[in-house]
Amino acid sequence: MKRIGIMTTGGDCSGLNTVIQRLYRGATLRGWRTIGILDGTDGLCTTPPMVLEFDNDTLPIESARLAGSFLHNGRAGALNFETAAETGKLSQFNKQLRKSLTDLKLDALILIGGNGSLSLAWRNRDIYSDLQLICIPKTIDMDIPLTDKTIGFNTAVQQLTSFCDQLMLTARSHHRWFVVQTMGRDCGQLALNAGIAIGATAILIPEIKFDVNSLIEHIKNFPRDYGIILVSEGISLRGHSGRPADMISRKLTAAKICNRTAYPEHTQRVGDTTAADRILAARMADCALRAIENNETYVMTAIKDCKCETVSLADFFAAGDVTADPNIPDLQTSDAYVSPDDPLLDIATSMGIYLGEIK
């Protein structure tokens, strides 16, 4: 009988509980035991490791739609890759992780994480050399290479869209513009997708340079005097500091454009999981379990051309824009961004949305 471990790491998002429940159900039908590791890598730093063994009552099907992670994603200030690197304990930390995984006698570990977690798994792959490592990509940022979809993204777009839909009503009532700052880190996918969904007047993303004076002219010449300007958190404005939405708002105010800022913040990472994300979670869970059956390891589940298949973690890491992690010395992360030939850019332009200096 195989013994399978499940762990969620990094930031939370909707869809985590769905994929956990689908993994447990699929593993049970195969006659396997399922162990949940609590608090991500934090749970592997205790003696004994913090785990629970799943049964039919652990995570009921009706709760699988809920946001967050039933297994938790870690505690602030706990020893992890970042804090271990800061305190010079990275080697000790890695040894502890490997010892805990050995003590758990796992045949396979399914790690559900974002691009940072997956990059860490690949760069520290010796930790998992005694078992099969299968990764499932989840992130609201959609910044993971080699997959067209990530668990949690669709729900985040819906959450952001619903937030802006309500703002649009008060914007119309007061002839006012709202500058809404989105999450997404250095990737503009979340802002771009939600912006098209709501019919934003402008979408500012890190991948496209923009001229604030051109933005102001676009708003002044717009056929209505209210709307939404979506600003991705990763943009910058030369000569200015502070939160991106505040920087843009100050420029609009100076141009005598009535506006307010709004910050949906972590509401983008919650909300009942959309049907699309639930289906994606089921597909990726099935793909991960089939990978275990096929004796695969160091792989990631991925959607490409509507098919759900595994790709090697080596290919995932090499396919992205490999950049230095600002928090962990010597760590590099594989990042994906909005491509210059993304068809959504043409769609936004055809809708009259200001994007910046599109080439």
Which residues are 300's β-sheet partners?
135, 311
Nearest one of 285, 211, 347 to 27, comparing CA atoms: 285
Which residues are 40's β-sheet partners?
none
d(CA 319, CA 339): 13
Q: Is the peptide bond before 137 cis (omega within 30 degrees of 0)?
A: no
Cβ neighbours, 10 Å, residue 82: 17
Q: Which of 12, 39, 42, 141 is catalytic?
A: 141
| Pairing of β 51-53 and β 132-137 | unpaired
| Pairing of β 299-304 and β 177-182 | unpaired
d(CA 270, CA 108): 29
d(CA 23, CA 42): 21
d(CA 284, CA 303): 8
Catalytic (active site) residue 141: yes
Q: Are 118 and 272 in contact (CB under 8 A)?
A: no
Which residues are 37's β-sheet partners?
51
Q: Which residues are designated catalytic?
A: 141
